[in-house]
Amino acid sequence: MNLLLHIVRQLANAIGLLFAVLVLNFCLIHAAPGDPAMVIAGEMGGASADVIAALRIKYGLDKSLFEQLFTYMSKVVTGDFGFSYYFNEPVVSLILQRIPATLYLVIAALVMSVVIGTLLGVVSARKPNGLFSQGVTVIALAGYAAPVFWTGLMLLLLFGSVWPILPVSGMIDVVRPKTGFAHVLDIIQHLILPSTTLALVFIAQYSRLARVNMIDALTADYVRTARAKGLPETIVIGKHALRNTLIPIVTVAGLQFGHLFAGAVLVETVFSWPGMGRLVFDSILRRDYPTLLAVLFFSAVLVMAANIVTDLVYRLIDPRIRSGAR
Amino acid sequence: MTSIDTPALPRDASTLPSRPAISPTLVALRQFCRSPSGVAGAAVLLILVLTTVFGPHFYGIDPLDLVDAPFTPPGEDAWLGTDYLGRDILAGLIHGGRATLTVGGVAAIITIAIGVTIGSLSGFFGGVIDTALVKITEFFQILPPLLFAMVLVTLFGQTLTTVTIAIGVVSWPTAARLTRAEFLRLRNLDFVKASRAAGAGNGHLILRVVLPNALPPIIVSATMAIGVAILFEGGLSFLGLGDPNTMSWGLMIGQNRNYVLDGWWTVIFPGAAIFVAVLAISLIGDGINDAINPRLRKRG
């Protein structure tokens, strides 16, 4: 029951924060230099003074700021985030079309980085001063320092011209469209390079985190007890120590969802992946403010959702919190 | 662990001699010099800074001039080749480094200034102020930082100043959380209570009593913030959001990225410059961390 209450409280908090994001969006548009009516006129390709005055009335720009905020909010609540003149489509439908592609990319990268990062960290923690461990440290440093878009371009160069075994652009093979299972395989093939690029940054961080925590865990009393009980090493590490190593990784992975998303914007641009990142790039290029601000809002929704899921996973892994909640 | 290893302990005037034999800063500096990777990082960063400061005097080519045919490969005509317009890559690296490193440094200062102010007020006062500031921090944390910075730069104009401020404005929450945690830990310790009892006001307590003792992790975080800011500047410029009139490493990659298959050197070198700079800074950060945090020093 307590858990349910906790979730309800979290959702209420999330809604409050998202409401604040909308207010921020509204303030940003009004704080930005330039008159919104002129901006809209610009998007339409220019307009006369009469048309601009008409636009002002049509969009309520002649009303007080507070009234405008109220209008904006009531529109957003009904799912109206404005219209993109460049794409000639409502912003919401634009974003909803792009969310799946971004989620494929982000989730693939997340899973890859948590699994590989933890594995590297755990293995290297067994011999903290060994060759493998030092190799992992070097990889972690390099992965952290390399700009994600640069890594992407390097892989594009490698697989685009030197060793062309993987598709380097888009999400599907447009020349030979496939159906059914072949279609899924096609997407997975296209996903390999972008997701690996994005994952490299986080593999670096998680392997470092896993290594430090595993080294700590291996000297802890409960691990000594487990060993003294005569448990095989695989169970000591795989069950007892790993659980405590995973807690900080899950926390950090959840908190970094925003960074992951931002990284996706860059990676999508490199590999022409048709997700929200690509949409951001296009809307920056066209100064398409409604789309840009709506993407900011939807990304906040995704981050919020990720935080709530992280919190739940955290409870699953950490029995102390779980029993406390009951 | 020797007694020298405890510089991070609160400096309590009543128990320490009035003039300590060795200052904690000196101890940390010595410790830092013992870390080969930290020293290497510092040396590399120094070389980069000196190159961007004095390089233009020795290598007189303007980074925006068209000096040769587009995509001239690295060789005698242009040491590191030319880009898609025929501009010299080496000149771009030397001049671009100025912008990139300056943005990194200034944005990190903004990040730390905002983060430390919010974190210290929040941790020191607690109560309603803490709740409000934590909510604000939380709010900034649900906005993906790079995306938020893109929105700010798109709306407020593509100048180096906007880019720098935008990076600072989106990056501070980590520093704020860190500072708050340190202040929460320190504010009820005896040496703070003693100062308060001696009549110190809140301003004095925050700035002169608690903050100096909270500095070690903040210094590490500030160092790392420079690296993050450089990566952000790169990312923004890569998307075409840098200042088009100022050469920077990110701008070079962003402008040449569509031609990576025509001339690898146009993208590899500026990317490598960012990579080396961030690597050097994070090595310095690790070195400082090891030097001022005795607990970490034991770890492999």
Q: What pLDDT digit, counting tens, does each position of A212-227 carry?
A: 888 888 888 888 888 8
Same domain membership, residue A249 and residue A182: yes
Best A23, A24, A149 member to test B by mutation, with max B CBs in 10 Å, is: A149
Checking if the pLDDT of A277 tops 60, the result is yes
Same domain membership, residue A243 and residue A160: yes
Query: Which three-class secondary structure state does DSSP give residue B232?
Result: helix
* B269 within domain boundaries: yes
Checking if the pLDDT of A325 tops 50, the result is no
Q: Find the CATH number of the domain harbouring A152.
A: 1.10.3720.10
Looking at the DSSP bridge assignments, the partners of residue B87 are B66
A150: nearest CA in chain B?
B271
Residue B158 touches chain A, beta carbons under 8 Å: no
Same domain membership, residue A179 and residue A292: yes
Best A153, A169, A286, A309 member to test B by mutation, with max B CBs in 10 Å, is: A153
Closest CA to A275 of A263, A287, A259: A263
* B30 within domain boundaries: no
Give, to the nearest 10 degrees, the angle between helix B211-238 and helix B145-156. 70
Closest CA to B69 of B264, B271, B263: B263
pLDDT band at B3 (very low <50, low <70, confident <90, very high): very low
pLDDT band at B5 (very low <50, low <70, confident <90, very high): very low
* Partner residue opposite B148 with nearest CB, options A285, A289, A296: A296
pLDDT at position A322 is 56
Cα-based distances in Å from A308 to A7, A15, A95, A164, B92: 8, 12, 22, 41, 45
Phi-psi label, residue B71: left if phi above 0, alpha if psi -120 to 50, beta otherwise: left
Cα-based distances in Å from B141 to A259, B136, B146: 10, 9, 11
Domain termination site, one of A53, A80, A107: A80
Closest CA to A317 of A15, A107, A114, A116: A114
pLDDT at position B103 is 93
Is-contact B13 B213, C-beta < 8 A? Answer: no
pLDDT at position A6 is 84
Rounded-to-integer distance, Cα A256 and Cα B142, Å:
10
End-to-end CA distance of chain B: 15
CB contact under 8 A, A296 and B235: no
Rounded-to-integer distance, Cα B103 and Cα B149, Å:
14
Is-contact A166 A189, C-beta < 8 A? Answer: yes
Same domain membership, residue A102 and residue A75: no
Same domain membership, residue A97 and residue A75: no
* A22 within domain boundaries: no
Same domain membership, residue A135 and residue A43: no
pLDDT tens figures, A106-155: 999 999 999 999 999 888 888 888 888 888 888 888 888 999 999 999 89
ipTM for the complex? Answer: 0.84
Residues of B in contact with A36 (CB under 8 A): none
Furthest-apart CA pair in chain B: how many Å? 74
* B189 within domain boundaries: yes
Mean pLDDT of B20-37: 79
Residue B20 touches chain A, beta carbons under 8 Å: no
Looking at the DSSP bridge assignments, the partners of residue A84 are A89
* Partner residue opposite A144 with nearest CB, options B150, B274, B282: B282
Rounded-to-integer distance, Cα A91 and Cα A213, Å:
44
Rounded-to-integer distance, Cα A286 and Cα A43, Å:
8
Q: Find the CATH number of the domain harbouring B263.
A: 1.10.3720.10
Q: Tokens at residue B194, please?
A: 């003693």
Radius of gyration of chain A from its Cα atoms, rounded to whole angstroms = 24
> Is B124 exposed, middle or buried (CB count within 10 Å of its CB: 0-12, 13-18, 19+)?
buried
* B36 within domain boundaries: no
Residue B300 touches chain A, beta carbons under 8 Å: yes
Q: Tokens at residue A31, please?
A: 């704080």
Same domain membership, residue A137 and residue A66: no
Checking if the pLDDT of A37 tops 90, the result is no
pLDDT tens figures, B46-61: 999 999 999 888 887 8
Give, to the nearest 10 degrees, the angle between helix A180-218 and helix A257-271. 140
CB contact under 8 A, B299 and A149: no
Cα-based distances in Å from A153 to A143, A146, B269: 14, 11, 12
B84 against B8, higher pLDDT: B84
Residue B239 touches chain A, beta carbons under 8 Å: yes
Checking if the pLDDT of B19 tops 80, the result is no
* B300 within domain boundaries: no
Same domain membership, residue A161 and residue A73: no
* A11 within domain boundaries: no
Residue B143 touches chain A, beta carbons under 8 Å: yes
Amino acid at A66: F
- Outline where DSSP puts E strands in chain B: none
* Boundaries of domain holding B184: 45-292
* A7 within domain boundaries: no
* A26 within domain boundaries: no
Checking if the pLDDT of B202 tops 70, the result is yes
* Boundaries of domain holding A60: 36-80
Residue that the structure tokens 């590999």 belong to? A271
pLDDT at position B113 is 96
pLDDT tens figures, B139-187: 998 888 889 999 999 888 889 999 999 999 999 999 999 999 999 989 8
pLDDT band at B95 (very low <50, low <70, confident <90, very high): very high
- DSSP for residue B72: P
* B156 within domain boundaries: yes
Structural domain count of chain B: 1
Same domain membership, residue A183 and residue A100: yes
Same domain membership, residue A146 and residue A112: yes
Same domain membership, residue A194 and residue A48: no
Q: Which of A91-95, A186-190, B18-22, B93-97 has the lowest mean pLDDT?
A: B18-22
Mean pLDDT of A70-90: 82
Same domain membership, residue A272 and residue A191: yes
Structural domain count of chain A: 2
